[in-house]
Amino acid sequence: MGIIKVMDENLSNKIAAGEVVERICNAVKELVENSIDANSKNIKIELINSGIKKIKVTDDGSGMSKDDAVLCFDRHATSKIKNETDLYFINTLGFRGEALASIASVSKVTLETSKNDDGTKVIIEGGNLISTTSGVSHKGTIIEVKDIFYNTPVRLKFLRSENAELASTVSVIEKIALSHPEISFSLYNNEKEVLKTTGSNELLKTIYEIYGYNVSKNMLHIKGSNYDYEIDGYITNINIQKSTKSGMITLVNNRVVQNHSIIRIIKDAYHTFLAETKYPIVVLNINTDPTLIDVNIHPTKQDIKFSKMDTLEELLFSLIRDKLNETDNLLKGYVEEKELIPSYNEYESNPLFEQKEKDVEVQEDKKVYEEVSLDFNVSDPGVEYYSKKAEENLIKPVGLALGTYLFAQSEDMVYMMDIHAANERINYEYMLNKLKNMDNNSISLLFPINIELTKDEYLTIKEYDNVVKEIGINYEDFGVNTIRILSHPTWLKEGYEEESIRKIFDLIFEMKDKFDRIKFNDRVAMTLACKMSVKANTNISYEEQETLIKRLFDCESPFTCPHGRPTIIKYPKHELEKMFKRVN
């Protein structure tokens, strides 16, 4: 007799539960998504002991008949798809028919449901049907899940603390609420309200209800489309920054997904606006034809595949980058009074609810960047032109503080500028423009520079010989694995030629396996900009202060250095007068 046997259905459901329902938040997510698919307008989630003791979800959706109420707990029983073709046109959150069977196999479940006629009550324990009786007759569904993992103690053992489980569940419901602003969600733990949204169908209002005043005040609306995708949502300006990616919420056809490629594109779009260790808050919905995506690649349906990623990347990157470039990204040096944010469709009136404080970092970056002195020369090429932006704003220098910060003023605004960061931005855009336009004007060296390389490095330089020469670095072989630099680009700082060339070579070595010319140019400009900029505690003349302001405001993105640190902080006259109690 063979040793291979078909496992019974209850055992297979318990195994499936390990994939679909790892934690309390997974069970809550599956139950809430069923309520959404049932066209509910109000969904209430009640937890006891963060859901470890009980999870109860009540909705006002379409409800189920008696037959469906019993059948829905069978594995692979679903109303969402009927044949293989339907897999390519999935428009619902659930479709596999695994979640309820998995949850029921590891808990004690009570289901009450009705389609506005006689209600049905189903009780299941550990995957076994206990009873089917008459229940409530109001339209909708109530499902209770008690003692989850009671019959799988190993799984129960690996649950985290009640606070940790509650935090994960809150995070899940927040994301779902943002994906469906037309639905009112309320979450309670031990009879205390934790989260509530109004179902206003206004995304900005829902963002306010979840993140509070400070975040919603700094949100920027983006919207655009191409032949394959349509993107609509909100992103934060540079005044709001987080240390984790948790605030980057991406939706595809109103489904919450976690796709690494999408997160990377968003982060790339914020390049030079935010520090590498900081992340924005975004809520973006990507609408597309279901045939262009595959949601059936992860047990929890949290990841997704795109068939035309290149067109999505181009659209998403340009929408975010363009919005950031056209926005006043001046960092405020004051705290605004809390105002009531108007409803999205009624900006003239209708205040929202009380402000909720959230743990959001506001422009905090403790990283200290290396600062190497390199004099700011007013006579440098391109410095003499006058910036129209500076002229229009009539910004004039007032003086220096601590040798690091430049104070300036216009008619009704005071500015504080970080001299080094401002120089970095100027030099970064100057060199990036040279690299983009392949301005390879070079200057010959009276005393050539010899650079000794390893064999691997020597072969890499030979492989990227065209890149090196396009930059304006000309060289010749000089012995074994050694090259002699004969000339270099005119924009390298005098006295730092060898150091700069070595840094350029190091970037080629670092990127050789995945060399991208655009990213390479950016890295070169960022690396060398710091070396070319005035260091802290360096006094500059009034003429140099004026030139610095003019050049900075003529930059494409003048408000942050290439590392994402602010270059300017503004103080409106009215806010200063309030600080000094001159006005109320």
**258-278: pLDDT as tens digits:** 888 899 999 999 988 888 888
Which pLDDT value is given to residue 363?
Answer: 42
> Is the sign of the CA dihedral 133, 136, 141, 146 positive or negative?
negative
Structure tokens given for 523: 């890295």
Q: Is residue 117 part of a domain?
A: yes
Strand order in the sheet with 442-452: 442-452, 482-489, 474-477
Do residues 268 and 182 share a domain?
no
Q: Is residue 498 part of a domain?
A: yes
Average pLDDT over residues 398-421: 88
In this model, does residue 415 exceed pLDDT 60? yes
Do residues 219 and 170 share a domain?
no
HSE (CB half, 13 Å, CA atoms) of 97? 14
Per-residue pLDDT band for 223 (boundaries 50, 70, 90) equals very high
Do residues 395 and 496 share a domain?
yes
Residue 281 belongs to domain with CATH number: 3.30.230.10
Do residues 144 and 211 share a domain?
no
| Percent residues over pLDDT 90 in the chain | 25
Do residues 184 and 230 share a domain?
no
Q: How far apart are CA 440 and CA 431, in angstroms?
A: 11
Q: Is residue 343 part of a domain?
A: no
In this model, does residue 344 exceed pLDDT 50? no
123-151 pLDDT, tens digit each:
999 888 899 988 777 789 999 999 998 88
Structure tokens given for 188: 């309670």
Strands 119-125 and 128-135: antiparallel
Which pLDDT value is given to residue 283?
Answer: 95
Q: Indicate the residue type of 261.
A: S
Which pLDDT value is given to residue 298?
Answer: 54
Domains held by the chain: number: 3
Do residues 147 and 228 share a domain?
no
Q: Is residue 350 part of a domain?
A: no
Per-residue pLDDT band for 356 (boundaries 50, 70, 90) equals very low
Q: How far apart are CA 39 and CA 46, in angstroms?
A: 20
Residue 190 belongs to domain with CATH number: 3.30.565.10
Q: How far apart are CA 62 and CA 40, in angstroms?
A: 7
Q: Is residue 71 part of a domain?
A: yes
Do residues 81 and 175 share a domain?
yes
The mean of the pLDDT values for the chain is: 79
> Which of the listed residues 178, 196, 214 is the one where a domain comes to its end?
196
Q: Is residue 547 part of a domain?
A: yes
Do residues 181 and 215 share a domain?
no
Q: Is residue 341 part of a domain?
A: no
Q: Is residue 353 part of a domain?
A: no
Which pLDDT value is given to residue 5?
Answer: 56
Average pLDDT over residues 337-351: 41
Do residues 554 and 473 share a domain?
yes
Beta bridge partners, 219, equal 236
In this model, does residue 546 exceed pLDDT 80? yes
Which pLDDT value is given to residue 303?
Answer: 64
Average pLDDT over residues 54-60: 94
21-46 pLDDT, tens digit each:
788 998 999 899 889 988 999 999 99
Domain span holding position 213: 203-332
In this model, does residue 381 exceed pLDDT 70? no
Residue 393 belongs to domain with CATH number: 3.30.1370.100
Do residues 178 and 233 share a domain?
no
Which pLDDT value is given to residue 221?
Answer: 95
Cα–Cα nearest to 455, from 427, 488, 495, 482: 482
In this model, does residue 3 exceed pLDDT 90? no
Do residues 219 and 176 share a domain?
no
Which pLDDT value is given to residue 333?
Answer: 61
Do residues 488 and 386 share a domain?
yes
In this model, does residue 468 exceed pLDDT 50? yes
> Which of the listed residues 175, 196, 217 is the one where a domain comes to its end?
196
Q: How many CB atoms lie within 10 A of CB 217?
A: 17
> Which of the listed residues 196, 218, 250 is the one where a domain comes to its end?
196
Per-residue pLDDT band for 369 (boundaries 50, 70, 90) equals very low
Q: Is 413 strand, coil or helix? A: strand
Q: How many CB atoms lie within 10 A of CB 332?
A: 15
